[in-house]
Amino acid sequence: MKVDRSKGFWNEPEETMSKEEKRRLDDKKLVFIFKHAYNNSPFYKKLYREAGLTPEDIKSRDDITRIPLLTKPELQEAQKKDPPFGGLLGVPLTELSEIFISPGPIYEGGTAEEDEKLLEAGAKAAFSCGLRPGDIVHNSFLYHLVPAGLGLHLCLRRMGCTVIPVGIGQTIFQAIIMRDLGATAYAGTPSFLAMIGEEAKKGGIDPINDLKLEVGLFTAEPLPESLRKHLVDTFDMIVRQMYGTADVGGISRECPEVSGMHLEETLVVELIDPKTLEPVAPGEEGDVTVTLPHKLASPFIRFRTGDGSVLSEEKCGCGRTAPKLLRILGRVDQLTKVKGMFVHPINIKATIQKHPELGNYEATVDRPELSDVLTIKIEFEGTGETLPKDTIEAQKALVDEFKENIRVKAEVELVPKGLIKKTKEQIIDLRKFD
């Protein structure tokens, strides 16, 4: 008998708080984290002093627009100049319980006290998406370096779930594991589960009758409605998504109404115009900008995710009162998420510049079927000493090098010089998310 996954809350007081209660909470937390960062993080102290701010200047959320915005390239530059943390740490190094490395790379520390708050937030999000205590969860998120796999693992354990820590790869074996262990829930990217479903069929495993999946928790890449329907039809399961980034963690999650993603209540979230940097009204597209009041080790204050979305404050039938992001509309800068990982033109260019025989490049990301395909077309003379003269061997060598440097497998096509023109848009996104 299947579990009723359509009702209930993980933390009802928090999930149903009034707008006034949320505002008072934001005021208190914003003042606290601003003072903490100013007094304990050399990076933030310098940033705020240059902006002419002192801790006494921030008294409530009304003052939030006075605080300088923060971007990922700025964090990268700070850590490059002053490795490894760039002066961002807000606690002594000895107080860190773990250090993650998000794409960039960005070194980011956490404390045991922060972990407790993150576990509760993650459990709340997973419950909203339909997972329940007692589920056997097949977790295919990456456990290596980034917080996704381990972080969600611990959140699910907090909920009372049994977790199978499979990570990525070995597609058909993952289907066998699901079948043998009776997994009732899946956590990972939607495209990877779609691939598992196809491989399962080829291997004689019926995704509906041989597997017991009832719910899927998806994040790290877009979930277009066509793919959602495909997963529902393939596995006869509930399909829900969360939205977050490797840097800040979970930001919003769906509920049984499936009409947008409720914002995590402990965060202070704004949507700003990417050109004017001014706040936008509900219903208008803006850059999702996040402040994490609980993050003391590596503070993130007014951090621009670079993701475009639209905020809705309409009442939701599930009973949760947090506003919702209606959908993620795409990148507002040059960062592009491919197979759940951010790819930046800088990292592509850095790899190409190691080889003098390579010239201009054109990078595109598409989704012809169920998974993202990143293609990098590069001008090539074929006479350099750092790559084999044979073009096929050169392409193979570059595939391996790109996979190591950008952490995503790319299709590489080498073409004669003069065929690629320089363009301002260095990663062209051809995907259609309906």
Lowest-confidence segment of 325-329, 345-349, 386-390 by average pLDDT: 386-390
85 phi and psi, to 5 degrees? -105, -10
Q: Tell me the pLDDT band of 239, cut-offs 50, 70 and 90.
A: very high
b (16+ CB within 10 A) / e for 307-342 = bbbbbbeeebebebbbbbbbbbbbbbbebbbbbbbb
Query: 160-165 long-range contacts, Cβ below 8 Å, gap at least 24?
Result: 160/133, 160/134, 161/131, 161/132, 161/133, 161/134, 161/135, 161/136, 161/137, 161/185, 162/134, 162/135, 162/136, 162/137, 163/137, 163/139, 164/136, 164/137, 164/138, 164/139, 165/139
Q: Is the pTM of this model over 0.75?
A: yes
| SS percent in the chain: helix, strand, coil, step 5 | 35, 25, 40
Per-residue confidence (pLDDT) for residue 384, from 0 to 100: 44
Query: What's the rounded mean pLDDT across residues 308-325?
Result: 96
Per-residue confidence (pLDDT) for residue 382, from 0 to 100: 56
Per-residue confidence (pLDDT) for residue 277, from 0 to 100: 94
Query: What's the rounded mean pLDDT across residues 7-32?
Result: 97
Per-residue confidence (pLDDT) for residue 42, from 0 to 100: 98
Q: Write the CB contacts of 57 (distance below 8 Å, at least 6 apart in sequence).
A: 63, 66
What percent of the chain has a predicted confidence (pLDDT) above 90?
A: 72
Query: What's the rounded mean pLDDT across residues 174-183?
Result: 98
Query: What's the rounded mean pLDDT across residues 157-182?
Result: 96
Residue in the structure block whose two tokens are 């056997």 = 136
Query: What's the rounded mean pLDDT across residues 223-233?
Result: 94
Whole-angstrom CA distances from 280 to 20, 285, 289 are 20, 7, 11
CA-based nearest residue to 228, from 5, 419, 434, 59: 434
What percent of the chain has a predicted confidence (pLDDT) above 70?
A: 95
Segment (H or E) for 288: strand 285-291
Per-residue confidence (pLDDT) for residue 63, from 0 to 100: 98
Q: Tell me the pLDDT band of 389, cut-offs 50, 70 and 90.
A: low
Per-residue confidence (pLDDT) for residue 387, from 0 to 100: 52
Per-residue confidence (pLDDT) for residue 385, from 0 to 100: 45
Which of the pair, 342 or 428, is modelled with greater confidence? 428
Q: Does residue 336 carry a pLDDT above 80?
A: no
Of the options 3.20.20.60, 3.30.300.30, 3.40.50.720, 3.40.50.2300, the CATH number for the domain spanning 341-429 = 3.30.300.30
Counting Cα atoms < 13 Å in the Cβ hemisphere of 222 gives 25
Q: Could you report the per-residue pLDDT of 55-65, keeping only the tens digit for each? A: 999 999 999 99
Query: What's the rounded mean pLDDT across residues 23-35?
Result: 98
